[in-house]
Amino acid sequence: MRGRLRRAWRILALPLISIVLSILVGSLVIIASEWLVTGELKPGLAIDAFTALVEGAVGSERAIINTLVSSVPLLLGGLAVGLAFKGGLFNIGVQGQFLMGVLGSVIVGVQLRESPAVIAIPLALAAGMLFGAVWGFIPGFLKATSGAHEVVTTIMLNLIALQVFAAAVNGPLTVQGSSSPITPDVGNAALPIIFGRNGHLGIIYAPLMAVLYGWLLFRTTRGFEIRIAGSSPDAARYAGMKPRRLIIWTMSVSGMLGGMAGATDLLGVSHQTASSYATTVGFDSIAVALLGRTSPIGIVLSALLFGALRTGSASMQIQAGVPAELTGVLQATILFFLVASPVVARLFRLKGARSGLEETTTFTSTYGGEATIR
Amino acid sequence: MDGFLYGLPVIGLVFEFIGYLIAVLPLIAPIIMRAAVPIAFAALCGVMCERSGVVNIGIEGTMLVAAFVGWAAGIYLVPVLGAEAGPIFGASASLVVALLLALLAGMIVSFVHAWLSISVRADQIISGTIINIAAFGVTGYLITLLSKTAPTGAGQFKTWTPPEALTGLPFVGWIFETLLHQGPLTISLLVIVVAFQIALFRTRWGLRSRAVGEHPRAAETVGIDVIRLRYRNVLVGGVLAALGGAFLSMELNSTFQQDMTAGRGFIGLAAMIVGRWTPLGAFGAALLFASTVGISQSILIAPPPGQLGEMLLSLPPQFFDALPYLVTIIILAGVVGRSIPPAADGQPYEREAAT
């Protein structure tokens, strides 16, 4: 029993310390920025803000359902980043894959809005996943064939996705006769509500995807190949695996998960969209995957944490007057302490603690011209 | 045979388009120049860091922070130092101090990256990504807080008007007009590109930086302090990126907007790769990427006549907004395999234990 506790502490110590430190930094930021803008020094404001945040995230049944709903896209996006990460690829393109997922599901969902839900929902969801997979395939293909690093190409594709999205919604998808471009409602393709007022089906299938993710990575040959290619590409090559094909496969599936996150958000929450879709899920997913150390359980837990932050920050803004954008600051500081974990571990004298981040050697080593994949 | 016949009118259109580009070049050259400045500064930052062996993905975030600080510092400086326009570039005292603070901010951000990637020896791409996420989060938070009171910054730098004798020259006058009828940051970019090119390939510092980026172990054995040189170069790189950020909020515009850099830091990285890690090459690549912006604008404002113009205008306007990013991907995919980065790029350096 004690051994087990110690093992759990070794894994959890650095993430937990990072979270606590980021709350401290967040408090300082709240107090300091209030002082800079209004000239008043209010130390109590930080406590008010975090109380409102926790209250808004888990204070009532409705709050908890809201937290779960906002965790769903983060969980799927986190799995997308995590899968690529395991394969030694850094998918910063979840933002674009998410948007394409929204687009694919709204196209098919609107077409099938009067068909029976049993047909409409799976097809709309599948369309979103397909669009996301295409948006993940492109950087994978470019990396495998030309060596263009995915960090640059996925960012460019994020920006292109914004424009493709706007062009599609402004053009063929918009409702006839509406004053501003907006798509029709997806009707029967909307995910059924199963908890409370807005707890949609995604709350059930997103965790199942996490299980599937764990099974794929740790119980299948393909998962083994991905992990080997990620941790030591040379060994993978000597073992006769095909790194190029693995890169394309991993990026496509990662993009598919990103697309699923977008499709779920559209079919479950918004049901229709204007020509821009305000979201930061793509970048939050990177934080989710890093904090969760790309393990399935870790990603579920950190998606819940960031989902709670997002939900709670809305009531923090209303009750304490602190902008909801504070979540961005908290997220960044958590990541900072995770990356600096060797130093944090030394400061807190945690000798046996596992490092806050997975060891990867492939991101930077495949950068630039080194990217030639043999 | 059929394909050949279909090909003919397409070739005609291509020639027509090239003719159109040559005709409008003097008109769109200033637009291209202005679009190229932030990309070029980002690319120079990339060259500075990667030549000494540090990959910097956080350029985008560094620029964003500098753009924000340059604008926000103005809000607090104007009541103290006043907003009286000075004789050169219409620069008030507050504007100059705000610029210096923006450069300092860029240096601080890149110090974080230097510390994480050189001393902590974290993965440099993750470290850079975190800087981008942090910059986005912190500036987003502060701009929401600040815009409650709708403040105004210290304004923006004015352009310098070069003498008529130069810009009025036949055939080449427009080149001088493009390069010199500009604000202080654009003109300083021209100076920096040339100076940096010479420094990198003709001075002791340049030789040492390149040695540290190619083979740090060998550099150390001849007595170069690898760690210190890398720190120094990344900090200077931060100043370069900050100049690009400050350009956005202090010369091109007079305000800051959320996510103002819009991927320019990453286009800069692509320009660095296409320019083969040299300052001049990076500047040329930045001009190439920026030309898509100029071409799109000129097509929307003054489209070519006839069938070609109709065809181009029938495209959705978002196509032209996406064009710079599309061209970046295509050129990057075509060039990257043939462009060789410094050998020790991205590898953390560990001193050998003293024996």
ipTM score: 0.88
Domain count, chain A: 1
A199 DSSP β-pair partners: A195
A195 DSSP β-pair partners: A199
pLDDT above 80 for B167: no
pLDDT above 70 for A365: no
The span from the CA of B242 to the CA of B70, in Å, is 9
Least CA distance to B332: which residue of chain A? Answer: A148
pLDDT above 50 for A372: no
The confidence score (pLDDT) of residue A369 equals 42
Chain A residues with CB-CB distance to B345 below 8 A: 367-368, 370
Mention every residue, 6+ apart, whose C-beta is less than 8 A from residue B354.
none
The confidence score (pLDDT) of residue A218 equals 92
Asked if residue B5 is part of any domain, the answer here is: no
B339 touches A: beta carbon within 8 Å: yes
The span from the CA of A244 to the CA of A254, in Å, is 15
Q: Domain range for residue B274?
A: 29-306+313-338
What CA–CA distances, in Å, run from A95 to A77, A136, A181, A290, B41? 9, 11, 22, 16, 26
Over residues A33-38, the mean pLDDT reads 80
Q: Write phi, then psi, for A21 (nearest 5 degrees).
A: -60, -40
Burial of B20 (0-12, 13-18, 19+ CB in 10 A): buried
- Tell me which of B58 and A369 has the higher pLDDT: B58
Asked if residue B347 is part of any domain, the answer here is: no
> CATH number, domain at B231?
1.10.3470
Amino acid at the residue A207: P
- Tell me which of A281 and B181 has the higher pLDDT: A281
Q: Domain range for residue A41?
A: 2-371
Asked if residue B171 is part of any domain, the answer here is: yes
Lowest mean pLDDT among A223-237, B118-132, B264-278: A223-237
Over residues A306-332, the mean pLDDT reads 89
The confidence score (pLDDT) of residue A371 equals 43
- Only one residue has tokens 């954008």, namely A325
B129 touches A: beta carbon within 8 Å: yes
Structure tokens at B212: 């540290």
pLDDT above 70 for B108: yes
Distance from CA of A234 to the nearest CA of B (A): 17
Domain count, chain B: 1
Chain B residues with CB-CB distance to A288 below 8 A: none
Q: With cut-offs at 50, 70 and 90, classify the pLDDT of residue B337.
A: low
Asked if residue B170 is part of any domain, the answer here is: yes
The span from the CA of A298 to the CA of B228, in Å, is 38
Asked if residue B21 is part of any domain, the answer here is: no
The model's pLDDT over A148-164, given as tens digits with 9 standing for 90+, comes to 888 889 989 999 999 99
B330 touches A: beta carbon within 8 Å: no
Contact B328 A152 (CB under 8 A): yes
Burial B144-156 (b: 16+ CB within 10 A, else e): bbbeeeeeebbbb
The model's pLDDT over A113-126, given as tens digits with 9 standing for 90+, comes to 999 999 999 999 99
Over residues A314-327, the mean pLDDT reads 88
The confidence score (pLDDT) of residue A204 equals 94
Asked if residue B320 is part of any domain, the answer here is: yes
Give which of B251, B201, B203 is closest to B35, Cα–Cα: B251
The confidence score (pLDDT) of residue A367 equals 62
Nearest to B266 among A152, A335, A368 (CB): A152
Contact A156 B337 (CB under 8 A): no
The confidence score (pLDDT) of residue A363 equals 66
pLDDT above 90 for B353: no
Distance from CA of A321 to the nearest CA of B (A): 9
> CATH number, domain at A358?
1.10.3470
Asked if residue B85 is part of any domain, the answer here is: yes
Ordered DSSP codes for A213-239: HHHHHHHSHHHHHHHHHHH-HHHHHHT
Contact A342 B120 (CB under 8 A): yes
A37 touches B: beta carbon within 8 Å: yes
- Only one residue has tokens 């219409």, namely B90
For B306-315, the CB contacts below 8 A with 24+ separation are B306/B16, B307/B13, B308/B13, B308/B16, B308/B17, B308/B20, B311/B13
Q: With cut-offs at 50, 70 and 90, classify the pLDDT of residue A353.
A: low
pLDDT above 80 for A360: no
Lowest mean pLDDT among A99-113, A233-247, B231-245, B341-355: B341-355
Taking residue B331's Cβ as centre, other Cβ atoms within 10 Å add up to 18
Give which of A127, A78, A91 is closest to A250, Cα–Cα: A91
A339 touches B: beta carbon within 8 Å: yes
The confidence score (pLDDT) of residue A109 equals 95
pLDDT above 90 for A293: no
The confidence score (pLDDT) of residue B355 equals 47
Amino acid at the residue A202: G
The span from the CA of B285 to the CA of B276, in Å, is 9
The confidence score (pLDDT) of residue A171 equals 83
Q: Are A88 and A144 in contact (CB under 8 A)?
A: no
pLDDT above 90 for A264: yes
Chain A residues with CB-CB distance to B125 below 8 A: 90, 151, 363-364, 367
Asked if residue B206 is part of any domain, the answer here is: yes
